[in-house]
Structure 1
């Protein structure tokens, strides 16, 4: 008994010492980010810290993906209707793949019509085109429209949720799991501020047309029976600031007030995410504070857009003599405004590649170099597929080489 008491006493003494030691050896940058300080920029210029009431927040540059501010970035929280960012992403994926069309008519199910919270007052059996349902989700955060779209895309609400979770895994979201397409609280329905920033960035980059909807402050949905439903955007920033054009808000008793707000100035687009704000007023004020902070202190330097040809690679035994190498995604660098130097673009390609070549096959890298240091890198991939040359074409080329024919 005495030995156990002594052991407990020793543990009580050692544990605080271990924690202090861990704090001292933890890199200062990591400690600062957890405290809500901005990370050091690529040129080494630290920016001033921000004080926020909201417990979880992230500020991200859309072009580069750089995190400019982080506080509780990876804490799991209830997202409320911010969930619908992923709902919209999966719906736009379906549009891009041709599985649905904007003109398709969707008949509202009993399940969708019975949903509470914010709705477009869809009635069971009511037809609405996909385009109107997307507007109801993006502008009015309508739960019934979200489930109607989910059922149209995947055949069932839960089938659509499976697609949402699969998309989250594709994006590498480590602290996200969905239980529904609406944002209603559930034990296994959660995300983080960082994950919301990543999915928001992907939505805006891949389907920028969504911003035409999310920037609308007030809209209406007309019903077949003559009724008209008002769709009001809870993101009041889009009403008062013309450079803000999205993206989504949310609230429940468990989640508190949340937002993913995006805007663009002088070619720089930022996304500010806040989860768990204590009030709508704080949510709006701190989202604006983050965006203003980012635009005041940082700028985006774009070096190469996704899909832009940066070189060609010879193809051995290919139906084409060479293939274009393009960035898989934008190559952009976020710099403090005090840094006036422009990064240098460097391209590195393989000397030759054998056919067949598939679209998206890695051919090299493009890097951004500043003061001799690499600050960003993207893969260069094949823009088009190149099949292997046929036997007949090989013979024709051989004769052409001999007789100088083309």
Structure 2
């Protein structure tokens, strides 16, 4: 039976606030959060949009964010994630050679005109996919990972579930409509790729969190795939900060923007999952169904400006903090009879700029007392603490749970120490019993 300690109280006024991030993946848990009327939301001409702060998962803007829509080439973000995971896990190397198969060679749309039998490295194909949205390179990578595109699709859908994506469903690695896939390799289904703006944001969050070096690919402005190519692949993302010096793109270049993925088909319209950082705060935006290539970027600017202009991340609890009213917990069979308790990580919330963060409440839940038996190492989990805060100007409360851990180690007591302690406790109990008779 768990020992519950309910401490619904405000944090002490001496709590220090600072801008700092704490990693979590709770975007899906906050999917209904929107900004109250006290902060003016932008007027958007889109089918759907969402804006999240990835370290807290807080949703700052939501417009039809849970509606499943065709994502077009934003689908490739999942392909990018899985391939990068394969490399991270040592199952694949960037230098591994990939032989192009029939499916990749016959894939249409954005492409680098791979021929069956061509051989390129994983890294070369990955850049072509991330920068030029090359469908043929994407299929070649999918087949290299899983043997066939449809086996890779199974990985995509499994990964989507693991990430907590609620609407995402994939039929291919590219985002092409089924009818545009090579006939021989079309899946036996009447479904198409779908993904909500919220799911795209969750996917973007995992890319940023799990592969923080993503920008080494997504921020490449242009890339010459083959020496014989007359022109390089040009990044479809006009908003890259580096484009501020490019005449054709400088009107769209956005400070701090380094990813993530564009998308366009007739059914999807123009889509874009973007991410940018300013003053230490990163945001992830998704826009879907823009009516032109340029408008997907101008609408993204509105969304990102809204976030950066109105919000900031503030730390409300530093890591290794003591909890008010819970200085220690009892320990059995130790040299000491109790051990200090602290939080194992800091806690941050997204708040309107200039907010004075007050009224944070918390609730602790401890492990069963009989689990804390010496010897105990420093940093041993003894429970959890959940902080709750509702910022003025925001509709819903934010919550964050971190572990409570021991602040020091406790050695096991010698048998003679434990013997005399037991004798002392026995006489103490006896004395209390006699005293209660009178």
Deviates more, 1:335-344 or 1:134-143: 335-344
The offset of 1:167, in angstroms, is 0.9
Q: Does 1:365 align with 2:361?
A: no
Question: Is 2:105 the partner of 1:116?
Answer: no
Distance 2:343 2:73 in 1: 40
**Mapped contact 1:313–1:324 kept (Cα < 8 A):** no
Match of 1:237 in 2: 239
Counterpart position of 2:193: 189
> Shift in Å at residue 114 of structure 1?
1.5
- Whether contact under 8 Å (1:362, 1:379) holds in the other structure is no
Measure, in 1, the Cα distance between the counterparts of 2:315 and 2:231. 42
Greater helix share, 1 or 2? Answer: 1
Secondary structure in structure 2 of the residue aligned to 1:205: helix
Unmatched 5+ residue regions in structure 2?
1-30, 179-190, 244-252, 323-327, 407-411, 419-438
Alignment of 1:135-174 (within 5 A): 135-174=127-166
Report how far residue 289 of structure 1 moved.
0.8
Rounded Cα–Cα distance in structure 2 between residues aligned with 1:362 and 1:285: 49
Q: Deviations over 1:189-212 (max 9, x none)?
A: 101111111111111111111122
Deviation at 1:361, TM superposition (A): 8.1
Greater mean deviation of Cα atoms: 247-256 or 309-318: 309-318
Corresponding residue number in structure 1 for 2:432: none
Query: In the aligned structure 1, how far is the partner of 2:382 from the partner of 2:158?
Result: 24
Shift of 1:220: 1.9
Distance 1:131 1:192, change over 3 A: same
- Offset, 1:294: 0.8
CA offset at residue 341 of structure 1?
2.9
Matches within 5 A, 1:243-282: 243-282=256-295
SS in 2 for 1:254: coil
Distance 1:98 1:189 in 2: 29
Partner SS, residue 167 of structure 2: coil
**CA shift at 1:316, angstroms?**
7.9
- 5 Å-filtered alignment, 1:341-356, equals 341=357, 348=364, 350=366, 353=371
Partners of 1:381 and 1:233 lie apart in 2 by 46
Q: TM-score, normalised by structure 2?
A: 0.68
User: Shift in Å at residue 49 of structure 1?
Assistant: 2.6
Residues 304 and 116 of structure 1, relative CA distance in 2, 3 Å threshold? farther
After superposition, the Cα gap between the structure-2 partners of 1:323 and 1:163, relative to the gap in structure 1 and judged at 3 Å, is farther
Which residue in the other structure is 2:35 paired with? 39
> Which of 27, 30, 40 in structure 2 is aligned with 1:48?
40
Instruction: State the Cα deviation string for residues 54-107 of structure 1 (Å, max 9, x = none).
Output: 111111111211111111111111100011111111112212222112221211
Once the two structures are superposed, the pairs formed by residues 7-406 of structure 1 within 5 Å of their partners are: 38-40=34-36, 46-186=38-178, 187-222=191-226, 226-227=228-229, 230-238=232-240, 239=243, 240-302=253-315, 326=344, 331-341=347-357, 348=364, 350=366, 353=371, 363-367=383-387, 369=389, 375-380=398-403
Counterpart-to-counterpart distance in 1, 2:238 and 2:362? 43
Structure 1 gaps of 5+ residues are 1-32, 384-393
Q: Secondary structure at the match of 2:51?
A: strand
- 1:16 corresponding residue in structure 2: none
Deviation at 1:38, TM superposition (A): 4.5
* Contact persistence 2:65–2:196 (CA under 8 A): yes
Asked whether the equivalents of residues 52 and 201 of structure 2 are also in contact (C-alpha less than 8 Å), the reply is yes
Contact preservation (8 Å) 1:332, 1:376: no
Q: 1:49 to 1:135 in 2, by over 3 A?
A: same
Paired with 1:161 and 1:354, the residues of 2 have a C-alpha distance of 46
Distance in 2, matches of 1:123 and 1:361, equals 56
1:101-122 superposed Cα distances (whole Å, 9 cap, x missing partner): 2221211112112111111222
Closer/same/farther in 2, CA of residues 200 and 99 from structure 1, 3 Å limit? same
Measure, in 1, the Cα distance between the counterparts of 2:80 and 2:404: 28
**What is the aligned-residue RMSD (CA, Å)?**
3.8
- Distance, in Å, in 1 between the alignment partners of 2:236 and 2:68 is 23
1:350 Cα deviation (Å)? Answer: 3.3
1:222-280 CA-to-partner distances (Å, cap 9, x unmatched) read 36xx4466221111010222411111000011110000011000111111111111111
**Structure possessing the higher radius of gyration over alpha carbons:** 2
What is the TM-score normalised by the length of structure 1? 0.73
